[in-house]
Chains A and B, each alone.
Chain A
């Protein structure tokens, strides 16, 4: 990385950017974030609007580097060996105009024996034609844990294309938990692709929750290679689509080592003229490994509906409650 910006407490202070930061924080709040976190010195924070880093704040053991790119930013996050990060690192990515491209090249290096949580909010509240690409490479050291919770808000127009791509390596005894959520507003186009490699005694847990409507197009691809002995994984996908939205979920889990255990759990609820597909692929190359999957695609369970209707909800209210409970939990 050439000429990176590294700052312990970097914040764009020129008046030209003050308004941008305020707007970004408002967008951040719309995506479910708490702007107050960006005022707390003990919390590591990074805020990027379009191709501008507006806030970058380190704390001991957590280092943030950034470098401008065409239409975006290259970000590097380094967590030192043995660092136990008390407060989640807050990340905010957004594009505020109606049109724009944002490209984030992110590199996360989690040292050995470290523990860190990230809360990322991506907000494109006014999007009519916005493209957001996130290419992340994540390396989780031995006996470390990293949790990454990412919540999106794409506005009401459906004019967002989002391409989250992550390559994750979990070293021996490491843990990776991802929680990816788009449940408010429209989705637009989501092309998500996560690839995980889990070494000995590693644990990977991927949870994805998306609610699509209009002509949203959702594609989720998750591939987990359980390459180490006793590596474990779980993917949990909850998608609801209505109107003419399309959802395609492909989850692949490979059990390549003794006592590797993987489970894939997908539920998709379909309404109106929407379409959902699920393609679980199980590959096992070691006789002591085991990978299982369960999938349910279709309408809301009749008994669930009738139970809620017996409490006085009409059918539409009951369906709405079931879907929202499922994808927001």
Chain B
């Protein structure tokens, strides 16, 4: 693994006076797949928005560095142009915007070829989908595939994928896994938020978030086991949010 080009240093974020992210530290190298685990509400998506630079997600303290340059206060557009992009967990729909046009937005030349390759990479027929609108007529699964295709076509330096597998049938998980591997092969670092064991296994490293903090980092297997042994039992007993005190006491 090469030297990290993307570093998150002690990032904290509060919203409405409530801590959302607590002293987050993370680093990613080219071609690295890093999985982020955690139950719903643990702060994974908030971290994704913070790294992308979404409105309302500027850290209160800490730094985000790209190639050693502080990008903590740069806007989304600048970050995207520097090579960071995000596939949202619930991608929005665009009335009237053709899928092909949407995918080519961040792609370099030759755009047309990139669009075709990206659609094929997510098992969508370019003939059938390139001119269709990325709107409400797409199923949730189709829209997610389009989102992944758009990221794939960009070949970003850092791809943040927020639960790309949610709402997608089991068969498609193979497609997603292949796509992520392909991105890593092209030297994209991938920050992958997921719960799927199949996807966790393919990662190089993993972290576990709870209540806005990274409480464990290690190999995907260790982290996954930690999650299964310590978080899931609480999840089953208490609902979606395990209690910090239970984790601390266990």
**Bind each other:** yes
Name the residue in A238, A301, A309, A327 with the highest tally of chain B Cβ atoms < 10 Å from its Cβ. Answer: A309
Q: For the complex, is B215 an interface residue (Cβ under 8 Å from A)? A: no
Q: Chain B residues near A315 (CB, 8 Å)? A: 77
Q: Which of A301, A313, A325, A327 contacts B92 (CB 8 A)?
A: A301
Residue A16 at the B interface, CB < 8 A?
no
Asked if A40 CB lies within 8 Å of chain B CBs, one says no
Is chain A's binding surface mostly helix, strand, loop or mixed?
helix
Interface residues of A in 291-329 (CB under 8 A from B): 301-304, 306-315, 321-322, 325-329
Name the distance in Å between B189's Cβ and chain A's nearest Cβ.
16
B171 to nearest A CB, angstroms? 26
Asked whether B76 is an interface residue with its Cβ less than 8 Å from the other chain, the reply is yes
Q: Within B72-119, which residues are at the interface with A (CB < 8 Å)?
A: 75-77, 79-81, 85-86, 88, 91-92, 94-97, 101-102, 105-106
Known: A311-B150, A321-B97. A304 touches B92 (CB 8 A): yes
Q: Does B169 contact A (CB under 8 A)?
A: no
B77 close to A312 (CB less than 8 A)? yes
Report A282 CB to chain B, min CB distance, Å: 22
Q: Give the size of the chain B interface in residues (CB under 8 angstroms).
A: 25
Inter-chain CB contacts under 8 Å: number: 61
How distant is A193 from chain B, measured CB to nearest CB, in Å? 26
Q: Which of B91, B92, B97, B105 contacts A312 (CB 8 A)?
A: B105
Which of A306, A312, A328 is within 8 Å of B96, CB to CB? A328
Q: Please indicate the chain A residues that have their CB under 8 angstroms from the CB of B85 in the complex.
A: 310-311
Q: Write out the residue numbers on chain B whose beta carbons fall within 8 Å of the beta carbon of A312.
A: 77, 80-81, 105-106, 154
CA A171 – CA B91 in complex, angstroms? 43
A325: chain B residues at CB < 8 Å are 94-97, 101, 133
Inter-subunit contact B80/A303 (CB<8 Å): no
CB <8 Å contact, A309 and B80: yes
A75–B124 Cα gap in the complex (Å)? 49
Cα A197 to Cα B185 with chains together (Å): 62
Which A residues are CB-close (under 8 A) to B247? none
- 5 CB-based A-B contacts, threshold 8 Å: A306-B54, A310-B76, A310-B106, A311-B154, A312-B154
Given contacts A311-B150, A326-B95, 19 further A-B contacts (CB under 8 A): A267-B95, A302-B55, A306-B76, A310-B52, A310-B85, A310-B86, A310-B106, A311-B154, A312-B80, A312-B81, A312-B105, A315-B77, A321-B97, A325-B94, A325-B95, A325-B133, A326-B96, A329-B97, A329-B133
Q: What 6 A-B pairs have minimum CB-CB distances, sorted nearest first?
A: A329-B96, A311-B106, A325-B97, A325-B96, A311-B105, A309-B76
